[in-house]
């Protein structure tokens, strides 16, 4: 365990140096992704500009929701998305086998030897938008609120990482998991709108089986003091528990898949 932790800086350093070999492409990617999210948010702003609000959320509220969504996602995804998306390929090429014969926790190795610094564009856009929206929504800041804000952000990032871990790890047993990622991103896209505008079954789905409501809507609604459907007063607690709980589940799932790993032919 301690060995794993002391190894982390070395693994991260290797990966960062690899990415820096192609830094031009990386900065271009930051720019393009920042642009792309910006354009997407502009379309949402256009809807609200024409219709005043979306389910009772005005543009500054929406901006905070979008910023929280993007920031929590990119923090969690930097620890998980590319790493676990590529497990499928690592299994097929046998590079996952090579990870298993090292005296390191394979999760530690996988996550930190690929700690994705490609989310620069996301983070810059998200923090910028968040800062602007916070000046607009007029929150009554208190130490408790600050604490909640930070904790909810961490929980949401954990949720992202945990879900990605679970999805990607499935490839160890079922060989393929890409399709599960497309389902994830389907719900992930919905998660940037106010939950209350969706039909009840969808709301239910998004706080249970596909718990992406906790990625942004629930915490931001709590911060803004807006009603949370289905959860009501439990919303603050639930949003803080969602990340750690999913993480725990992910740990069990990862262990189970590792035990049942079959490798690939050749």
Ligand X SMILES: Nc1ncnc2c1ncn2[C@@H]1O[C@H](COP(=O)(O)OP(=O)(O)OP(=O)(O)O)[C@@H](O)[C@H]1O
Binding residues for ligand X, per CB under 6 A? 262-266
Give whichever of 55 and 94 is closer to ligand X, judged by the CB atom. Answer: 94
Task: Tell me which residue has its CB nearest to ligand X.
Answer: 265
Query: In this structure, is the dihedral angle defined by the CA atoms of residues 225, 231, 236 and 239, taken in order, positive or negative?
Result: negative
- Residue 61's Cβ-side half-sphere holds a number of Cα atoms within 13 Å equal to 20
CB 69 within 8 A of CB 194: no
Residue partners of 25: CB distance under 8 A and separation at least 6: none
Residue partners of 86: CB distance under 8 A and separation at least 6: 114, 168
Q: Work out what residue 97 binds among ligand X, other proteins, none; the CB cut-off runs from 5 to 8 Å by kind.
A: other proteins
Tell me how far, at minimum, the Cβ of 91 lies from ligand X, in Å: 8
Q: Verify binding: residue 209, other proteins, rule CB under 8 A.
A: no
Cβ atoms < 10 Å from Cβ of 128:
13
Of the candidate spans 154-162, 191-199, 224-232, 234-242, the one that interacts with other proteins by CB under 8 A turns out to be 191-199
210 to 249: interface string for other proteins, x by CB under 8 A = ----------------------------------------
Q: Verify binding: residue 29, other proteins, rule CB under 8 A.
A: yes
> Measured between alpha carbons, how far is 260 from 214 in angstroms, rounded to an integer?
31
Residue 168, exposed/middle/buried by CB under 10 A (0-12, 13-18, 19+)?
Answer: buried
| Among 186, 208, 227, 234, interactor with other proteins by CB under 8 A | 186
Q: Verify binding: residue 255, other proteins, rule CB under 8 A.
A: no
Tokens coding 148: 């909640």
Q: Verify binding: residue 14, other proteins, rule CB under 8 A.
A: yes
# chain residues binding other proteins, by CB under 8 A: 66
> Measured between alpha carbons, how far is 125 from 33 in angstroms, rounded to an integer?
9
Residue count (the chain): 266
Tokens coding 72: 């929590």
Give whichever of 232 and 266 is closer to ligand X, judged by the CB atom. Answer: 266
Tokens coding 125: 């856009």
Q: Which residues bind other proteins (CB under 8 A)?
A: 3, 6-7, 10-11, 14, 17-18, 21-22, 24-25, 28-29, 31-33, 35-40, 42-43, 46-47, 49-51, 54-55, 93-95, 97-98, 100-105, 176, 178-180, 182-183, 185-187, 189-190, 193-194, 197-199, 202, 259, 261-263, 265-266
């Amino acid at each position: 365990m301690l060995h794993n932790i002391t190894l982390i800086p070395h693994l991260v350093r290797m990966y960062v140096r690899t990415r820096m070999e192609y830094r031009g492409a990386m900065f271009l990617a930051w720019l393009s992704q920042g642009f792309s999210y910006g354009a997407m948010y502009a379309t949402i702003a256009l809807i609200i500009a024409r219709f005043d609000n979306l389910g009772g959320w005005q543009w500054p509220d929406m901006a905070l929701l979008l910023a929280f969504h993007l920031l929590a996602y990119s923090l969690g995804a930097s620890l998980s998305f590319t790493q676990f998306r590529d497990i499928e390929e690592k299994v097929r090429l046998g590079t996952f086998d090579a990870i298993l014969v090292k005296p390191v926790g394979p999760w530690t190795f996988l996550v930190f030897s690929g700690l994705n610094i490609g989310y620069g564009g996301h983070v810059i856009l998200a923090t910028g938008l968040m800062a602007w929206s916070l000046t607009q929504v007029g929150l009554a800041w208190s130490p408790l609120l600050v604490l909640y804000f930070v904790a909810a952000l961490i929980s949401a990032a954990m949720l992202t990482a945990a879900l990605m871990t679970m999805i990607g790890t499935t490839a160890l047993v079922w060989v393929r998991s890409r399709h599960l990622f497309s389902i994830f991103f389907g719900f992930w896209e919905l998660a940037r709108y106010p939950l209350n505008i969706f039909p009840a079954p969808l709301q239910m789905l998004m706080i249970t089986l596909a718990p992406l409501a906790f990625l942004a809507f629930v915490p931001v609604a709590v911060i803004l003091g807006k009603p949370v459907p289905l959860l009501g007063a439990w919303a603050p607690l639930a949003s803080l528990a969602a990340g750690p709980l999913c993480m725990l589940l992910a740990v069990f799932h990862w262990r189970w898949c590792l035990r049942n790993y079959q490798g690939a032919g050749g």
